[in-house]
Structure 1
């Protein structure tokens, strides 16, 4: 069980030295803490890398799409890409290599996990999955140790026969790679191609469209380390295993295709091989072969002979990263090659042009609509692209929030903003709160390249530090957008080694002081204007790991991704200025306690295995002797998590997470201490976020329902709001609002059946307007809860009996009753802090402004939770928005005015109810065939007079929700809106308008008082003679317009076309309260 051992209260409050002391067990598992909740703020503006696309045109003409993200899971669209939803989030791996649809069953979907575009930052997979219900549910079908899948082929007539092409492990040897086949729908698998060595896997497989038994396959010998990548060529211990092979019996036997056996193929050694048949002409075969003369090769006879066709720059660029060939289903001469830009040919590969000029770079996937081949959907490092004209013009899909952040930071604005850098998608700043939702337009691009660290300058918030790969740091003026390069430069005949993900660190002690690391640590005290080198080489300086210019294998590829023996993490102690910890990518941990004058290498004290990578070093917020490190060994094929702690400046280290740690999965990226309680720790790994409440002795995964097992690369706290912000590498930025409930999970709380947890003071945030309708083909991040968040803990899920959650005012009166969530563990319920809406009389026109009540007054409230007879209470303090320019007295005046209008509405509702009852009674007499002529005449005359009065009060013109007819009710609605649209003191005009309407209402009431007694007396008398019951107007209940929230929301969306989500949710609340 994933669990946290929660120690006694004394231990929770004790210093770090006591964190490992024995304590009575009081367990809270992952389900218990995950109710804290989390929200995604996007963005989809920059999206992220797409690895695979599968599509199908349905019988009704609609297009169903499945999109596989490099590290963001599988997304499904049932409307051709207008909208998407994630369908793979409950699975343990989000790195997608391939998606294939069963041509014999439209509901069967195959997914191979583990991306095959093997760049340095690629994640890992864990086998093959199958869905038989269109992606709603999934079953793991085996091959768990293949790590990567590049292609899945389903037999065109037998859905149980499936081929899986698995390149295999990137970082280590393994026999679990090659081409696999199942004939029983995935129950069992046979390895039908097992390559010659342990670093060679399958790179491609293609099936002859005229003969499913005829297969062509490519194998690929490859290996990556932290400092080198080899695509093809000979390995250190064995000849190259890169090959092309052919089978005519469904893979039982194979023939090697090479320069000796097939005319036109190049000499070996080879690298990555890609193969594709032309669906419209099985004799046409296209193959890309990486070798010393990488090129596209074409066969016109089904693979018997080949000709070299193209070896242009666009064709041969980075074969390990751009491999796929896609042929038009109807035209064998029309071919697309994925690449830096996607290139296309209309003449069978003889010539190529750029087919996606204005798109993002680095293309990996393309689906061509078989019913209309001008309709294509492609994927690259920037997300999804759609064209209807064969690739002349492309539209960017802005609705997939699969951005791959490396780091995140926050500022102190109110509301605060978040900053971060993304894989191949620059550095950005965006809102985490905005009226109407955090749409793509709320994100601003700061800097180019592959983005990593981005910080607002604490000394001047108009400036931001941001970098792209290799330590290319600039200081950016957000007002003028000027970018100034401030990267430290090498000295005479010197080479600086900056990591792909070069660390930048802002001093917690000196505003304006910034650190950056190459093999040396640099410090600037003037915002990067000048730099001081304050260390010697802090790495191992191993020359064998500094041959990046030779990296790439057959095709040299040196993008700084393999730069090694570099500083990777920097942390200055907030408790001791000048005490700085440094971690390197080659396993060193170094410490200076005098601002860099002297350094101590404490690496040997950690007792780490060879080739460990210090992925994070974190100086404690509380004790200068304490620090934490996370260790990443996935570059050596070890995917286990490691995290250690020192309490004596690095002389000794205690492992807090290791391969046998219960509840933690995936190699570790980051560790952070809670900002209030030193015993609460958070660790981000390749597969999620994990928390410890006892200094690291026990761990639990933090896994709300909407948060998948995505890589968490960075964690930052917004101290003022007590929020935690996560940078994920595959699903954008996530925010946990208000961490305080975690600190309250003491053993006494955990032992209670149900207990309320007091929260921080609540702000009544000003209700701003904003947002605009952007259609359905977009994405909007989630705002913080629009109301007061009430938190409680349950030892077990509530099943039997009533559970009641109430809000009481300072006098003990029940203000509101809320639906209580019943899940085990932490529960959070949002109270709107609003009174009930006015009781508005029914009419032909909807009173839009009166569909929600005004906010309650700031002050002291009590929350009461009742469960099975047990009662728990907690105080709640509500205050003004800290940005407010008005006073509590102003709010009181606004509240009183709103309540006064509500009393007028109540009088009006009673008045209209009486009028409607009188009209109905008169109508019954008029309609009764037994009534005398005199009775009918009197009843009709009375009914007409009632209607004349009623038309002064309410709109009566039928024909729609908006008739333009304004009567007393409609004008009162405007007056109520004028008072409640702001929390400021009402204007004299607004109050005068209320007074005028009250006078009008009084006049109508007086007229009714003069009309109704005598009129009703006569009508009731006539009714009694007809055997009808009399009507007592004094007993008539006031009427409400009964407008349901859903109706109001639909009308508001249609009428104003804006994303007033907070306001609309409040409108919907009216339907629940009535």
Structure 2
């Protein structure tokens, strides 16, 4: 028989050690058997300050020490007694290097899971504390007098570690058994005060946002259980409503010249804190609405809403350049404004002039795409009116002459529209039918957008040449349409009116 030598060590283990970020040489330690020591000379001498902590039961675990970033003699500790059958929270603070301590438990809820593992002080605001218990995350805005649950979609799991990433103001959470979690952007919590809560509406100053260049995705196994989720791209915009708001709000983005960039509609904002994201892009182009069935595939019909989306091509979404932007929150008759800074990707080597040139290029393509989309919509409405006309009056021989002429007119419309969008595309078979026929003007514009927006650099000479070619094409098809509308369509509508039928395309 031999003695088991792998038993746990119960005492004399330093469970926590932390150096003051503002007082050189000040080091705090906490042990597994409930002792707290401090050194102010870099560890040459130590003082046991445990006896100064009021109402502290013996033999607890000093699970965490948090030296203050604002006062050299201040520190927070958490003490865990659950192994002794004590589940009450124990959190203390000192402002005089441990000579005296006070409880910062405040109104923290008591339960079998209320013992505390970790406490963190916000790096930007004194008195703003984050605290992790055996099954919850809490925040205090008044140095531990009052606590508020900060759970969100965080699983109710033991919160063993907390870190505030100072550059992005993200709260990083380490749990026992449920992985790592990140509360993206706690800037609004850092700015939340009693004065803010007294206002009916408050728009928080957003953190700076980075304009990142496209990056290749990393390869990983499908459905990797260890894979994380990236945050929403762009700028997070936070605001507070004291009361419920009946109606819709909106956030308007403008550049420093007062030019409109984006409007974001907010449906039914809630009482309390609200967050929306701006993806740093200008207003997108508009997609055409196809109101007729697919050529050569009549079994594919339009949706219940009366139209179908184009199977090929995409929207043009110009990306804002680095700089200052005005953010305006509109809730009813109340308007608040603040400033947002967009920063350049640190890995980007482009100049401001190059990024401005690319933005101007993308804005031109957006306007061109809208022109094509508008013309497609116009043609589709006329074709749909022709279909409806045949459906309503096709069985009446009295109208055979104008309806027969309408078939010829429809073929002219199809020929015009086919230069803008291939009407044979079904969108089925994983959109494989897009490889059977060449892309037409609306899809070509979106292709040029994709090819030219892969970096921050200015558009190439070849891209500018293609843009000029597409612009000429657009001018030509619009001129052809205007001639058709004034001549053939006008004559046809006159015939319809004389025959007692309603005109089309009105």
TM category, shorter: 0.7 to 0.9
The 5 A counterparts of 1:948-959 are 948-959=415-426
CA distance 1:1009–1:605, shift in 2 (3 Å): closer
1:784 positional shift: 1.4
Among candidates 746, 758, 761, match of residue 193 of structure 2: 746
Query: Partner of 1:895 in structure 2?
Result: 359
Whether the 8 Å CA contact 2:262–2:281 is kept in 1: the answer is no
Whether the 8 Å CA contact 2:312–2:427 is kept in 1: the answer is no
The 5 A counterparts of 1:341-740 are 556=4, 558-559=5-6, 561-607=8-54, 608-657=56-105, 661-663=107-109, 666-704=114-152, 706-740=153-187
CA distance 1:941–1:750, shift in 2 (3 Å): closer
Whether the 8 Å CA contact 1:715–1:727 is kept in 2: the answer is yes
Query: Partner of 1:929 in structure 2?
Result: 397
Structure 1: how far apart are the matches of 2:415 and 2:330?
51
CA distance 1:860–1:818, shift in 2 (3 Å): farther
Whether the 8 Å CA contact 1:918–1:1016 is kept in 2: the answer is no
1:958 positional shift: 4.7
Whether the 8 Å CA contact 2:261–2:282 is kept in 1: the answer is no
CA distance 1:622–1:849, shift in 2 (3 Å): farther
1:725 positional shift: 0.9
1:773 positional shift: 8.7
1:675 positional shift: 0.5
Whether the 8 Å CA contact 1:921–1:1020 is kept in 2: the answer is no
Query: Partner of 1:807 in structure 2?
Result: 252
Structure 1: how far apart are the matches of 2:335 and 2:379?
46
Q: TM-score, normalised by structure 2?
A: 0.83
CA distance 1:940–1:735, shift in 2 (3 Å): closer
Structure 2: how far apart are the matches of 1:915 and 1:645?
73
| RMSD over equivalenced CA pairs, Å | 3.1
Whether the 8 Å CA contact 1:880–1:888 is kept in 2: the answer is no
Whether the 8 Å CA contact 2:66–2:76 is kept in 1: the answer is yes
1:1014 positional shift: 2.8
Structure 1: how far apart are the matches of 2:224 and 2:169?
33
Query: Partner of 2:305 in structure 1?
Result: none
Query: Partner of 1:543 in structure 2?
Result: none
Larger Cα-atom Rg: 1
Q: Higher helix fraction: Structure 1 or Structure 2?
A: 2
Whether the 8 Å CA contact 2:12–2:31 is kept in 1: the answer is yes
1:912 positional shift: 3.0
Q: Deviations over 1:374-427 (max 9, x none)?
A: xxxxxxxxxxxxxxxxxxxxxxxxxxxxxxxxxxxxxxxxxxxxxxxxxxxxxx
Gaps of 5+ in 2: 295-308
Whether the 8 Å CA contact 1:808–1:863 is kept in 2: the answer is yes
Greater shift, 974-983 or 680-689, is seen at 974-983
1:848 positional shift: 5.2
CA distance 1:674–1:1031, shift in 2 (3 Å): same
Whether the 8 Å CA contact 1:809–1:862 is kept in 2: the answer is yes
Structure 2: how far apart are the matches of 1:824 and 1:626?
36
1:560 positional shift: 5.2
Structure 2: how far apart are the matches of 1:932 and 1:587?
98
Secondary structure of 2:419 counterpart: helix
The 5 A counterparts of 1:841-852 are 841-842=288-289, 846=310, 849-851=313-315
The 5 A counterparts of 1:719-868 are 719-770=166-217, 778=225, 780-796=227-243, 798=244, 801-810=246-255, 811=258, 813=260, 815-820=262-267, 822-842=269-289, 846=310, 849-851=313-315, 853-867=317-331
1:970 and 2:424 matched = no
Query: Partner of 2:470 in structure 1?
Result: 997
Structure 1: how far apart are the matches of 2:329 and 2:207?
18
CA distance 1:664–1:676, shift in 2 (3 Å): farther
Secondary structure of 2:196 counterpart: helix
Q: Deviations over 1:665-722 (max 9, x none)?
A: 5222222211112212222221222222222222222222x12332111111211112
Q: Deviations over 1:127-147 (max 9, x none)?
A: xxxxxxxxxxxxxxxxxxxxx
Q: Higher strand fraction: Structure 1 or Structure 2?
A: 1
The 5 A counterparts of 1:869-880 are 869-880=333-344
The 5 A counterparts of 1:36-435 are none
Structure 2: how far apart are the matches of 1:847 and 1:896?
27
Query: Partner of 1:1027 in structure 2?
Result: 500
Structure 2: how far apart are the matches of 1:601 and 1:958?
79
1:821 positional shift: 5.8
Secondary structure of 1:953 counterpart: coil
1:1014 and 2:481 matched = no
Structure 2: how far apart are the matches of 1:939 and 1:823?
53
Structure 2: how far apart are the matches of 1:947 and 1:708?
56
How many equivalent pairs are there? 474
CA distance 1:692–1:932, shift in 2 (3 Å): closer
Whether the 8 Å CA contact 2:313–2:444 is kept in 1: the answer is no
The 5 A counterparts of 1:1032-1071 are none
Structure 2: how far apart are the matches of 1:943 and 1:795?
57
Whether the 8 Å CA contact 1:749–1:755 is kept in 2: the answer is yes
Secondary structure of 2:326 counterpart: strand
Secondary structure of 1:909 counterpart: helix
Q: Deviations over 1:282-334 (max 9, x none)?
A: xxxxxxxxxx9xxxxxxxxxxxxxxxxxxxxxxxxxxxxxxxxxxxxxxxxxx
CA distance 1:1015–1:572, shift in 2 (3 Å): same
Q: Deviations over 1:810-835 (max 9, x none)?
A: 42758313215633432211123333
Q: TM-score, normalised by structure 1?
A: 0.41
Greater shift, 564-573 or 978-987, is seen at 978-987
Structure 1: how far apart are the matches of 2:108 and 2:386?
78
Among candidates 342, 357, 368, match of residue 904 of structure 1: 368
Query: Partner of 1:946 in structure 2?
Result: 413
CA distance 1:1031–1:824, shift in 2 (3 Å): closer
Greater shift, 572-581 or 872-881, is seen at 872-881
Gaps of 5+ in 1: 1-291, 293-548, 551-555, 1036-1074
Secondary structure of 1:760 counterpart: coil
1:728 positional shift: 0.8
